[in-house]
Amino acid sequence: MTMTQQQQHEHADVERLSIGQVAERTGLSVHTLRFYEAEGLMVDPVERLAGGRRSYRADDVEWLTICTNLRSSGMPLPEIRRYAELVREGAGNEEDRLDLLRRHREEVLDRIAKLHGWLEVISHKVAVYEERLDHGATGRLWVQECALLDRAIEPAD
């Protein structure tokens, strides 16, 4: 009975994944996975097989899913690293983690609000164009647009 290296490590088959498999499952590239690890984004450095290859546990993949969630919603890597550090430290700092998450949520809300503002400006511009095109009055159009746009609601950047 020759077990593959995948299996002979630790007690049988605790579902270890290679970097390639994790890449598939998370949608991150293998480059990015190595990069994230080097950046200290993992809660613990990924375990290795005999040959030095990374062997991801289910936990790692779940954590990476959290990371991509946070990244996609605009959290910068240093803040994710901070979060990872808190988790690494273990129980006792849940308030801090909650804080971090709440602050991030505020940021997302903020960005949504700003985008809504810009959306209005743009929609207004689109509306102006549509109206003018319907009326066939196209000459020197853009100068008028400018004036209109300036008068439009301008969300604070």
Partner DNA sequence: CTAGAAGCTAGAGTCGACTCAAGGTCAAAT
Partner DNA sequence: ATTTGACCTTGAGTCGACTCTAGCTTCTAG
Residues within the interface to a copy of itself (CB under 8 A): 27, 43, 59, 62-63, 65-66, 68-70, 72-74, 87, 91-92, 94-95, 97-98, 101-102, 104-105, 108-109, 111-112, 114-116, 118-119, 121-123, 125-126, 129-130, 132-133, 138-143, 145-147, 149-150, 154-155, 157
Query: In whole angstroms, how close is the CB of 125 to DNA at the nearest point?
Result: 19
Cα gap 39→105, rounded to integer Å: 23
Number of H helices, E strands in the chain: 7, 2
Tell me the two tokens of residue 49.
Answer: 């097989």
Which partner, DNA, a copy of itself, none, binds residue 27 by CB below 5 to 8 Å per kind? a copy of itself
Which partner, DNA, a copy of itself, none, binds residue 20 by CB below 5 to 8 Å per kind? DNA
The answer for 92, left when phi > 0, alpha when psi is -120 to 50, beta otherwise, is left
Query: In whole angstroms, how close is the CB of 36 to a copy of itself at the nearest point?
Result: 16
Find where tokens 């998450």 sit: 101
Residue 65 to residues 33, 58, 62, 116: CA-CA distances in angstroms? 12, 11, 5, 28
19 makes contact with DNA (CB under 7 A): yes
